[in-house]
């Protein structure tokens, strides 16, 4: 199957779920393609959004960890309110955790969309209570 990134808006929960198919980040060009395709989609939304990221289908090679972390941190700062990740292979989860330790991007990875959504809704409730 060919590279594909899908953004699905869940109106009930006001969240965008992002899914990947065969997205392999093995070169700087791959990271730039991922960033630019993602940014183009976020710009269409005309507002910052909460995101649930299904990392199954996304493979971040070790040599691209830093570049990907910087790119995802950029996207998060400019287009996202909150980001909750789930699934993903060990290599990609390691890239997430490494970025978190270096303080460049968030690092939580949940076991399922349901767990990630539950945490998002819990955090929204806490923020509203203030």
- Is 4-120 in CATH node 3.30.750.24? yes
Cβ-count burial 83-94 (b if 16+ within 10 Å, e if not): bbbbbbeeebbe
CA–CA gap between residue 39 and residue 9 (Å, rounded)? 16
> pLDDT value at position 41?
93
List the chain domain ranges.
Answer: 4-120
> pLDDT value at position 103?
62
> pLDDT value at position 1?
67
Name the phi and psi angles at 122, rounded to 5. Answer: -60, -45
> pLDDT value at position 130?
77
Residues lower than pLDDT 50 in the chain = none
CA–CA gap between residue 44 and residue 32 (Å, rounded)? 19
55 burial (CB, 10 Å; 0-12 / 13-18 / 19+) is buried
What mean pLDDT, rounded, does the chain reach?
A: 90
pTM of the model: 0.88
> pLDDT value at position 89?
80
Q: Could you tell me the two tokens for 45?
A: 């939304």
The 3-state DSSP class for residue 63 equals helix
């Amino acid at each position: 199957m060919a590279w594909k990134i899908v953004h699905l808006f869940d109106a009930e929960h006001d969240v965008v779920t992002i899914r990947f198919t065969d997205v392999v980040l093995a070169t700087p060009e791959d990271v730039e393609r991922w960033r630019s395709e993602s940014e183009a989609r976020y710009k269409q939304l005309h507002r910052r959004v909460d995101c649930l990221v299904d990392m199954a289908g996304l493979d971040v090679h070790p040599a691209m960890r830093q570049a990907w972390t910087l790119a995802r941190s950029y996207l998060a700062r400019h287009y996202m309110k909150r980001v909750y990740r789930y699934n993903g292979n060990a290599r990609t989860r390691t890239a997430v955790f490494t970025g978190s330790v270096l303080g460049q991007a968030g690092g939580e990875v949940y076991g399922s969309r349901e767990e990630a959504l539950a945490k998002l809704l819990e955090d929204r409730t806490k923020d509203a209570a203030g």
